[in-house]
Amino acid sequence: MANQGRKIMVIDDSYTNVVLLEAVLNLRGYITITALNAKDAYPLIEMEKPELILLDLFMPETNGFDLLKSIKSNDATKNIPVIIVSAVTDEDNISKTKALGAFDFVKKPIDIQLLIEKIEEVIS
């Protein structure tokens, strides 16, 4: 499989979303790293160096905006593409994430086919 060994990190406070995305990605040969909050995610990002991050915006404690800022301001992680996966899809939030360096935005409920296309666009 072409994706064998390619790492994607999923960060979402919804366990259901994490399990769903992990299953979809694993079926396609990706290795998934998961975190249910931004605080746990950050050290994992630095340690695992995923090729792509799927990031929810609204989580308790540290939100996705703050984590995205941290990822993009650190030389060790700034080149990792981030796709935002969020139910909040107003133009302000979409443009704010793009301004912070997000590669793209996918709305929830997730269109799996669209998400896979965006992932393959990034990773290929």
Mean pLDDT computed over 26-44: 95
Give the class (CATH, top level) of 7-123.
Answer: alpha beta
DSSP string, 50-88: -SEEEE-S--SSS-HHHHHHHHHHSTTTTTS-EEEEES-
The residues spanned by each domain of the chain are: 7-123
Percent of the chain with pLDDT over 90: 90
Tell me the pLDDT band of 89, cut-offs 50, 70 and 90. Answer: confident
Mean pLDDT computed over 73-83: 96
Tokens found for residue 34: 């998961």
pLDDT at 117 over 90: yes
Does the pTM surpass 0.85? The reply is yes
